[in-house]
Structure 1
Amino acid sequence: MKKNRVAVIFGGKSGEHEVSLASANSVLQALNKEKYEIIPIKISREGKWYILSSLNTFDSNIKCEAAILADPTGDNLVNLQEKEPGQIFFTRESVDVVLPVLHGTFGEDGTLQGLLELANIPYVGCGVAASSVGMDKAMMKAMFAQHNLPQGKYLTFLRKEWEKDQDPICDEIETALGYPVFVKPANLGSSVGISKAANRDELVKAMHLACLYDRKVVVEENINGREIEVAVLGNDEPEASIAGEIVPCNDFYDYEAKYISGTSELKIPAPLDDKTMNEVRKLAVKAFKAIDGAGLSRVDFFIKKDTGEILINEINTLPGFTEISMYPKLWAATGLPYDKLLDRLIELAIERHQDKNRNKTVYSE
């Protein structure tokens, strides 16, 4: 039986480059080598694409440079080799499905998805629009509001506005949200560039930091709540995993707590009563449908400690896949182990692609 050729793309020109390498390393080891011919494609920090000769993402063992052509008519994975100085030779090969393991900009934000749509290659995960909305916290929150999903108070500012006049922005934040607040780049994940500010001096530093990573900044009210996460899997009929709870080792679930220290406590399943467990799972599916998600997403919530109110925090359309990441752990606890989860994601990618290709692209009556 012919193996499906699966291109696993990772790395990328993003502040989450290292996270992507760690996630992809776990994915590459777990994919069934009997079912799939695996093509590891690493994108450098500068944005160059390489096919590796091993399945270890941290190796620099490069087989050749690579590119995907926006050509839906034939083999569109290109191998580029310089056999003589200044002379590039290339060969083309087929790819049955792409498994992006890219976090952050140029991978999770719809840009890669747009290229794969032009090339007509099936790919795991959300489409162009859902990826873009899911990546942009300001757009995401506006979409959630449109669908009446409960969420905390927030404000959005442009970097140009901040650089022009800081004091009115600080005044507005203090009046509308008070302290402490969380300051986040709108288009980044894995807690990169996020700060908690308890006074104006810390707010100014936090805004400067967030502006290094994006032209748009989201400032959120502090919510004294438990951090709950739910994994969603599916296309038009998505399902939610059981919920898990994160007890951060740091003041909040920052980059170090997620990927370096490994000492944050993950409670799976979350210690919730049946009513609350069912409600967060229902809201997770609603959030997924609100952005027209596909394949996978992780939906994060706060449950207020004083009132028990459930508030949605964000949706992550390409969640971490490291050994300590919540998404695969939640599905394993729900009854779908890591390797079978990857199988299902590839099945969903092909299913979604086949459904999309039913659409007419030429007008006729």
Structure 2
Amino acid sequence: MNPKPTVAVLFGGRSSEHGVSCVTAGGVLGAIDRDTYDVVAIGITRDGRWTLASTDAADWRIVDGAMPVVADEGPTVLPPVRVGSTEWRLDDGTAVTPLGAIDVVFPVLHGPYGEDGTIQGALELIDARFVGSGVLASAVGMDKQFMKAAFVDAGLPVAPGIVLRPGEPVAPRMPELEKLGLPVFVKPARAGSSMGISKVTSWDELEAAVADAAKHDPKVLVEAGIVGREIETAVLATGQEVRTSPQGEIVTKGDHAFYDFEAKYLDEGNVELLCPTALDPGVAATVADFARRAFLAVGAEGLARVDCFVGSDGYVTVNEINTMPGFTTTSMYPRMWAVAGIAYPALVEALIQEALNRPLGLR
């Protein structure tokens, strides 16, 4: 009999979304069929060391509001040293020993140094199979400036915005910024999970909001606020087929001015996730079409979540694409597919199989 394929779940990382990645890893680890696959967990510490980690999903839960963290302990994991090898190794500081063959990597890193094409490039360098998008789609999907450019080139409507380069002062740009009108949203150009995002309702708040965003990324996007419902669509691509899920909607309550980090992960009681949500059939068709076009515009592979705003007049604006969306059992991406009849474990299985069957090298 052929041995079971080995799946390595790769998570953690150096970005401010380290904890979110760990929670996502817990969801994936809990969903992989251990009768079909052998599973290895590779955590990346906050300072960038790759280490062998627990494969128990329970070890990667949020506990009393605290995010899990990859501990700086255990042997270092070493990837193959040449193309064509699937043999990974362990270094405990005294000797290098075999870890074994890894057939496919499931990277669930969020933010810079992971979701932005960095990890994808490292894996492509050694011809390792992996779940999700490659270098270019991951990089474009992470950088909101170039993501918007790709969307506009594909004929998709986006919110007006102005990019502040690293270290660029706000004051000289104020005449342009004021043309955006209030409110505006200030965002790190290359971050996710709503990290560092502020809603600005007075220009006096802008400098502080830019400084806060710059803690997560020196390049900052100031974007015109769009009034509308926040609608999400999950995209799943297997082979040449690109499918879109029923739409989901996020409704925040309490003190949340928008769907911020706390609302996403720490205050579920004040967030309502509706799926399927009620949309005019024509609007729903437009949202689905835009989601598919956004996926193709950046050259995404495997999975993505596309977020849109729908105004009261039915006008649809594309907000962003996430090439490695939140993937816990309660995240919108798997919840939307569950409504379509694809359960969480089946979704994980589909993504692993897609990666195993994908051609290696340039494509």
TM-score by length of 1: 0.91
Deviation track 1:115-140 (CA, whole Å, cap 9, x = no partner) reads: 11011111000010000000000000
Structure 2 gap ranges (5+): 61-67
Q: How does 1:227-238 map to 2 (within 5 A)?
A: 227-235=230-238, 236-238=240-242
Amino acid at match of 2:82: D
The answer on 1:319 being equivalent to 2:322 is: no
Say if 2:229 and 2:249, in contact at 8 Å, map to a contact too. Answer: yes
CA RMSD of aligned residues (A): 1.7
Distance (whole Å) between structure 2 residues aligned to residue 148 and residue 70 of structure 1: 43
Say if 2:45 and 2:71, in contact at 8 Å, map to a contact too. Answer: no
Distance (whole Å) between structure 1 residues aligned to residue 49 and residue 223 of structure 2: 35
Distance (whole Å) between structure 1 residues aligned to residue 87 and residue 224 of structure 2: 47
Distance (whole Å) between structure 2 residues aligned to residue 156 and residue 281 of structure 1: 28
**Structure 1 residues 265, 237: closer, same or farther in 2, change over 3 A?**
same
Distance (whole Å) between structure 2 residues aligned to residue 213 and residue 255 of structure 1: 13
- Percent same amino acid among aligned pairs? 43
Q: Report how far residue 237 of structure 1 moved.
A: 2.4
Find the counterpart in structure 2 of residue 64 from structure 1. Answer: 75
The answer on 1:153 being equivalent to 2:160 is: yes
**Structure 1 residues 61, 171: closer, same or farther in 2, change over 3 A?**
closer
Q: How does 1:158-237 map to 2 (within 5 A)?
A: 158-162=165-169, 166-174=170-178, 176-235=179-238, 236-237=240-241
The answer on 1:310 being equivalent to 2:316 is: yes
**Structure 1 residues 323, 358: closer, same or farther in 2, change over 3 A?**
closer
Report the secondary structure of 2:317's partner residue: strand
Report the secondary structure of 2:329's partner residue: coil
Say if 1:53 and 1:62, in contact at 8 Å, map to a contact too. Answer: no
Aligned residues: 348
Distance (whole Å) between structure 1 residues aligned to residue 308 and residue 81 of structure 2: 38
Say if 1:53 and 1:63, in contact at 8 Å, map to a contact too. Answer: no
Find the counterpart in structure 2 of residue 278 from structure 1. Answer: 285
Q: Report how far residue 60 of structure 1 moved.
A: 4.8
Say if 2:10 and 2:44, in contact at 8 Å, map to a contact too. Answer: yes
Q: How does 1:262-273 map to 2 (within 5 A)?
A: 262-263=268-269, 264-273=271-280
The answer on 1:240 being equivalent to 2:244 is: yes
**Structure 1 residues 225, 11: closer, same or farther in 2, change over 3 A?**
same
Find the counterpart in structure 1 of residue 65 from structure 2. Answer: none
Deviation track 1:15-73 (CA, whole Å, cap 9, x = no partner) reads: 10111111111111111010110000111111111112442334859542112245213
The answer on 1:81 being equivalent to 2:82 is: no
Find the counterpart in structure 2 of residue 43 from structure 1. Answer: 44
Amino acid at match of 2:31: A
Structure 1 gap ranges (5+): 360-365
Find the counterpart in structure 2 of residue 102 from structure 1. Answer: 109
TM-score by length of 2: 0.92
Deviation track 1:270-314 (CA, whole Å, cap 9, x = no partner) reads: 111221112111110110000111000000000012x21000000
Report the secondary structure of 1:160's partner residue: coil
Find the counterpart in structure 2 of residue 22 from structure 1. Answer: 23
Q: Report how far residue 170 of structure 1 moved.
A: 2.6
Amino acid at match of 2:264: K
